[in-house]
């Protein structure tokens, strides 16, 4: 592809025509690949390439240019930006419906970035790099496609700097683990705690996981970071017990990237052994998207964790790919109702109906239930009346350092939780 661009640059210089390099990228490609496996992902990319070829007629060459990315080369008339813009919009409109992969159908979001010769560069490398920069700029801005601008280059540099700082932070363990209490809604008892990671950035201060977890997943750093969080949570739990506090179930989030990692169960059991933590003391919170894809391998992983006596919770339930068939098939213990449904309780009848349906479904499958994001007594009372077993949220406590959680339990828990 690079050589073809070089050749066309030479031809364009001779006849005063322009070139447009268009880079296409599939959003959340790594998540799709991890969900459905390498073989299915490769077949899916071939399908995408064929559709791009069919839709993008009159192009000079089409090439796969990266992870879930393709590049097209067009010859254009001078100042024909609108012509290229129209063509790219037509191509993207051909990817609006669900597409087949591994016996299932999924929706993808395709973005595009565009660079021009000679406006944006005089070499193959410059044009490709600037088209890819424009692609990432369109994703960041929420647009379907965009043209290269110097500002995008600045934002890309900022992202690369942030990525380097994140890598350094993982190596230096600049992270703190906070714990949010989980309570029994019927009795008010504290029954567990969820481990939540925060980044203590040397210059930015405390960085929210919403800012760095997506980048950690994109770069694969989530594997090492996840192990750091699990190890810290286990150590904190054991130190908590050594001080005479009662033992609780500690919940740790497992990213879809971690879930697809080879030898996952072995890695977790090794950390439990290192920290003298019993498997029964650990709960793994797994998102619905992590369970989508190959049902055979998914069942194998879940069964191995279940056999190891680790509790399994389905996180953010109601926002993903769940079906009755897999809920009854997989060895899950708990459904965690997403906070987006909890916010509307007492205000939105649709949300109330959804929550009632989830609770009835969980009861029919003999699964425990926990509602996250409870912020008001009215929400708590509605959930309690409908038979929800557990809850967490700012009504009870914000996430706390382990030492403050001890104070919360000893001094404030009885009055706060039973109110």
CA neighbor of 214 nearest in space, from 26, 30, 24: 30
Distance CA 231, CA 237 (A): 10
Q: What three-state secondary structure class fits 336?
A: strand
**Which backbone phi and psi does 213 adopt, to 5 degrees?**
-65, -45
Burial class (CB in 10 A: 0-12, 13-18, 19+), 296: exposed
Distance CA 142, CA 217 (A): 20
Residues identified as active-site: 372
Helices (H), 114-199: 124-141, 150-172
CA neighbor of 84 nearest in space, from 92, 74, 99: 74
CB 407, CB 209: distance < 8 Å: no
DSSP string, 9-36: HHHHHHHT-EEEEEEEEETTHHHHHHHH
Chain CA centroid to CA 61, Å: 33
Q: What three-state secondary structure class fits 105?
A: strand
CA neighbor of 196 nearest in space, from 390, 402, 417, 396: 402
């Amino acid at each position: 592809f690079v050589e073809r661009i070089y050749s066309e640059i030479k031809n364009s210089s001779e006849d005063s025509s322009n070139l447009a390099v268009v880079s296409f990228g599939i959003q959340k490609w790594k998540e799709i690949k991890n969900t459905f496996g390498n073989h299915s992902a490769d077949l899916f990319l071939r399908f995408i390439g064929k559709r791009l070829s069919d839709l993008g007629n009159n192009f000079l060459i089409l090439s796969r240019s990266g992870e879930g990315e393709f590049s097209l080369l067009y010859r254009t008339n001078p100042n024909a930006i609108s012509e290229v813009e129209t063509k790219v919009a037509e191509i993207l409109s051909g990817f609006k419906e669900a597409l087949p992969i591994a016996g299932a159908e999924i929706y993808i979001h395709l973005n595009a970035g565009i660079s021009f010769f000679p406006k944006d560069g005089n070499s193959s490398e410059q044009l490709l790099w600037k088209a890819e920069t424009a692609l990432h700029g369109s994703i960041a801005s929420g647009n379907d496609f965009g043209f290269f601008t110097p500002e995008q280059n600045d934002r890309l540099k900022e992202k690369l700097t942030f990525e380097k700082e994140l890598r350094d932070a993982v190596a230096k363990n600049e992270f703190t683990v906070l714990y949010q209490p989980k309570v029994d809604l019927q009795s008010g008892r504290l029954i567990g705690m969820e481990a939540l990671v925060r980044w203590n950035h040397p210059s930015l201060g405390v960085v929210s996981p919403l800012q760095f977890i997506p980048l950690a997943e994109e770069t694969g750093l989530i594997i090492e970071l996840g192990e750091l969080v699990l190890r810290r949570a286990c150590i904190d739990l054991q130190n908590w017990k050594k001080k005479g506090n009662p033992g609780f179930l500690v919940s740790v989030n497992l990213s879809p990237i971690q879930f697809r990692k080879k030898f996952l169960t072995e890695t977790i059991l090794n950390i439990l052994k290192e920290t003298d933590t019993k498997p029964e003391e650990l709960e793994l919170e797994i998102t619905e998207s992590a369970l989508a894809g190959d049902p055979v391998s998914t069942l194998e992983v879940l069964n191995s964790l279940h056999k190891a006596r680790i509790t399994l919770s389905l996180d953010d339930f109601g926002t993903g790919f769940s079906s009755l068939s897999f809920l009854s098939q997989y060895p899950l213990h708990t459904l965690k109702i997403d906070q987006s449904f909890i916010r509307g309780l007492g205000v939105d009848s649709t949300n109330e109906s959804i929550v009632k349906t989830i609770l009835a479904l969980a009861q029919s499958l003999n699964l425990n239930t926990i509602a996250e994001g409870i912020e008001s007594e009215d929400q708590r009372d509605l959930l309690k009346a409908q038979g929800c077993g557990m809850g967490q949220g700012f009504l009870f406590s914000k996430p706390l350092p382990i030492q403050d959680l001890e104070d919360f339990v000893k001094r404030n828990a009885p009055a706060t939780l039973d109110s």
